[in-house]
Every structure is written in C-alpha cells, then in structure tokens.
Amino acid sequence: MPLQPGMILKNRYRIECALGQGGMGAVYDAYDINLGVKVAVKENLFTTEEFARQFRREATILASLRHPNLPRVTDHFVIEGEGQYLVMDFIEGVDLRERLESEGSISEEEALPWFLAISDAITYLHSRKPP
C-alpha cells in the first residue's frame, strides 16, 4: 500500500509526498523529525523473502559508499507487516527528463560539468571491491 502524506515511519520520518516509482520500489519526499532535515525514503514494493534480502543487501552496499556525487544512505529498517525502507539524502533539483521537457536540449557547455560529475561517480563505483 502506498505511503500517504502525513504518515510517520519509525516515529521519525514524516512522509510529505511521492516522488516516483520504479520496478522494485517507490521513493518519497520525507522529513526527518529528529534531525530537522529533508530526506528521501525508498519503500520496497515486494514482500517476498528474496526481494527483502536483495533490498537489505542494497541498503548495506549503498550505506558503505562515500562520494560527493552520490546520496548517502542513513537508515534502513523494517516495519513488521508493513514494509521495508531505506532512507537517504534528498537531492534538490529536477531530473534530466524534466529539464529536457521544460527547456529543450542542453548545450555542451552546460552538459560538461554533469558529464564529469557522473564520470567521477562511475569511476569511484568501479574502483570499489565487489561485496
């Protein structure tokens, strides 16, 4: 069941609104009541043990990453009978699709810093030893 605005998870994370949904999870804009900061909460949409195991593994791997171009994972928890959640930094801004739809193509000058930031993050990820 989708999370609703105003719901509070783990007596800490207040759901503000849905941001999007992918094949395995939904992501929500949320507020960390304890720290007073905006966060993103990812909900695992599958309840099988295999998907739960994969989601835990994803949380563990992502929490170990430290790079300025990657959001930090700050929490992972299960609410019995409800779901499994991952909490990460909220990154402000629009995604590339929204940007292209609203303003059209991007100049090379504008794209280069994005390309370099993405390349740096990919290089970092490839330098890590597989878990």
What is the SS3 assignment for 28? Answer: strand
Give me the amino acid identity at 57.
Answer: R
Q: How many domains does the chain have?
A: 2
Q: What angle do CA 61, 121, 110 make, to 5 degrees?
A: 145
Full domain range(s) for residue 55 = 1-92
Do residues 44 and 81 share a domain?
A: yes
Q: Cα(4)–Cα(14) distance, rounded to whole angstroms? A: 9
What pLDDT, on the 0 to 100 scale, is given for residue 23?
A: 78
Q: What is the full per-residue pLDDT of the chain (131 aa) written as tens digits? A: 689 999 999 999 999 999 998 877 899 999 999 999 999 999 998 778 898 898 899 899 999 999 999 999 999 999 988 889 999 999 998 888 888 999 999 999 999 999 999 999 999 999 998 76
17 and 76 belong to one structural domain: yes
4 and 65 housed in the same domain? yes
